[in-house]
């Protein structure tokens, strides 16, 4: 019988944690800003994302779309000459999937959820760029 080396649970957990990369929407902002390797192509994409107008990022899962968007959003929040930008994560949309089979108004609920997430992101950005901390964007739309 061959023996396997004993591994401390904490060592195993640390090794396991080191084996996986975090999703960009879970990474701390200071890590996004200070730990991002930039280059000409990266800088050009950020420039386009920070310009006025619509941009569509296309790519396979894990290629860095979210990372780029968060980086560009942080640039806009930190620099007053950049456009007002909104970042929100829609990665929890899968939790709404069961509703698509159980409710006839599932599409409407999904659209409402997306709009609510965008409004939350807009309020967060507004506060971060110097808006009053007690401002509630919901009051603009009659939501209390």
Neighbour count for residue 46 (Cβ, 10 Å):
19
Q: What is the mean pLDDT of residues 95-116?
A: 82
Give residue limits of the domains in the chain.
22-85, 87-144
* pLDDT tens-digit map of 37-88: 899 999 999 999 999 888 899 999 888 999 999 999 999 999 989 999 999 9
Q: Give the span between the Cα atoms of 27 and 40, in whole angstroms.
A: 23
Residue 61's pLDDT is what?
A: 86
81 to 85, 90, 130, 135: CA distances (angstroms) = 12, 27, 14, 22
pTM above 0.85, yes or no: no
Sequence-separated (6 or more) residues with CB below 8 Å from residue 138: 119, 144
């Amino acid at each position: 019988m061959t023996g396997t080396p004993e591994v401390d649970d904490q060592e195993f957990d640390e090794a396991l944690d080191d084996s996986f990369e975090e999703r960009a929407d879970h990474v701390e902002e200071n890590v996004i800003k200070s730990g991002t390797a930039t280059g000409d192509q990266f800088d050009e994409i950020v420039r386009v994302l920070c310009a006025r107008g619509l941009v569509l990022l296309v790519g396979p899962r894990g290629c860095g779309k979210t990372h780029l968007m968060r980086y560009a959003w942080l640039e806009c929040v930190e620099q007053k000459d950049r456009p007002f930008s909104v970042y929100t994560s829609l990665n929890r949309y899968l939790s709404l999937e069961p509703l698509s089979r159980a409710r006839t108004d599932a599409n409407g609920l999904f659209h409402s959820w997306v709009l609510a997430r965008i409004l939350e992101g807009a309020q967060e950005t507004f506060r971060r760029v110097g808006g009053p901390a007690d401002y509630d964007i919901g009051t603009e739309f009659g939501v209390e």
